[in-house]
Amino acid sequence: MRFSSEVVVTLRPSINDPQGLVVHDGLRQLGFTGVRSARVGKYIELEVEAADEASAQAVVTQMCEKLLRNPVIEDYRITVRPLGGAPSSGSPT
């Protein structure tokens, strides 16, 4: 089965994020005075072939651990969903 996976990589809370500070200041200058903080991260879209959703989740986790994030500075979140129509069981989409 094919799955679509979204990986969001964020800087750890303890890491200073000058990009986020600039975004924060910019938003406030535009009048969004309610903005309390801004942090900038990375978004990665993957298409993954896997036997089922659990193994897709597992393999994307491995990708994050090995390459997609640097554990010294970053955290990550993963979402996985089936791609392309109904599963072979024929259940409606």
Partner 1 sequence: MRFGIAVFPGTWSDRDCAHAVGLDGHQAVMLWHKDRELHGVDCVILPGGFSYGDYLRCGAVARFAPLMESVADFARRGGLVWGICNGFQILCEAHLLPGALLRNASLQFRCAPAWLRVDTTESPFTASCRVGDVLQIPVSHGEGRYVADQATLDQLEREERVLFRYTRPDGGPVGAASPNGSLRDIAGIVNHDGNVLGMMPHPERACEPLLGSADGMRLFRSVARSMEREGTAAGVG
Can you give the binding site for partner 1, defined by CB under 8 A? 14-16, 18-19, 22, 67-68, 70, 72-73
Which is nearer to partner 1, 70 or 79 (by Cβ)? 70
Tell me how far, at minimum, the Cβ of 1 lies from partner 1, in Å.
27
| Integer Cα distance of 22 and 25 in angstroms | 5
Distance between CA atoms of residues 74 and 8, nearest Å: 10
How many helices (H) does the chain have, and how many strands (E)? Answer: 2, 3
Residue 53 DSSP SS3: helix
**In the complex, what is the shortest distance from the CB of residue 83 to partner 1, in angstroms, rounded to a whole number?**
23
Considering beta carbons, is residue 1 or 21 the nearer one to partner 1? Answer: 21
Question: What three-state secondary structure class fits 39?
Answer: coil
Give whichever of 20 and 82 is closer to partner 1, judged by the CB atom: 20
